[in-house]
Amino acid sequence: MTDDCAHTPLISPPVSDRQILIREAFRLEWFTIGWMAIEAVVAIAAGVTAGSLVLIAFGLDSVIELASAGVLMWRLSVELHYGQRFSENAERIAARVGGALLFLLATYVTIAAVWHLWTGTGEEFSWPGFIVALAAIPAMRYLAHRKIAIAEKLGSRALRADAMEAVTCGWLSFVVIATLAAQWFVGAWWIDGVGSLAIVWFLVKEGREAWSGDVIADCCVP
């Protein structure tokens, strides 16, 4: 008897549009991890060397984005292995983690900025910090736009929260550049502390949206 099955070509199951989007989200998260690792090392090292709270906060924001990217990859893996229905719990956990990390960063920046202003501690200009902040602007703009677009199509609160951390990093890049430039030209000791406090309201706002799952508008992207 002829084994017809031996002559039947193997047909791979079709890949759904949702799976394609999830795989693109994975690529974005890998890009995020690579960039944030570089950004964190350069910014924190430059911040410690120059005594700059703005640069240290910038580096810590990069560390938070690294953690957020790891959480997102776990959430996306759950859906790929178990389906969309089984990712709902992972979705809630990932969104809450993203919001909590933003609150944590806002708390640190507030306490450190008040301490710097109280003690009259300033900063020195840092070229490595300035360059990495400048390079972060186009990188964060690209990541934020793509993640928000994919989050809308997937209906993912967690990916929106992760996208807003990229938005936060983009705005923080502007603050770092403005603060360092002002320090270079003016040399006032208080500029670093004031520049740090300028981002706290944004961190708290986006942390609340990530925690509660509110819709995030594309207009927030710098």
The full DSSP string for 170-209 is HHHHHHHHHHHHHHHHT--TTHHHHHHHTTHHHHHHHHHH
pLDDT at 30: 92
| 145-105-160 Cα angle (round to 5) | 25
Tell me the pLDDT tens digit for each residue of 137-179.
999 999 999 999 998 888 877 788 788 778 878 888 888 888 8
Contacts by residues 181-184 (CB-CB < 8 Å, ≥ 24 positions apart): 181/130, 183/122, 183/123, 183/124, 183/125, 184/125
Distance from C-alpha of 174 to C-alpha of 194, rounded to nearest angstrom: 14
**Percentage of the chain surpassing pLDDT 70?**
80
- Give pLDDT, residue 8: 43
The pLDDT assigned to 9 comes to 43
Instruction: Give the relative orientation of helices 17-50 and 127-154 as an angle to the nearest 10 degrees.
Output: 160
- Cβ-Cβ contacts under 8 Å for 121 (sequence gap 6 or more): 51, 115, 189, 192, 193
What was the pLDDT predicted at 132?
A: 94
For residue 114, the model assigns a pLDDT of 84
- Taking 50 as the pLDDT cut, the residues of the chain under it are 1-2, 5-14, 215-219
Residues, the chain = 222
Q: What pLDDT, on a 0 to 100 scale, did the predictor assign at position 116? A: 74
Please tell me the predicted confidence (pLDDT) of residue 139. Answer: 94
pLDDT at 149: 92
Fold of 16-214: Alpha-lytic protease prodomain-like (1.20.1510)
CA gap 133, 20 in Å, rounded:
32
How many Cβ atoms are within 10 Å of 112's Cβ, its own excluded? 20
Phi, psi of 221 (to 5 degrees): -75, 130
DSSP 34-64: HHHHHHHHHHHHHHHHHT-HHHHHHHHHHHH
CA pair distance 70, 32, nearest whole angstrom: 10
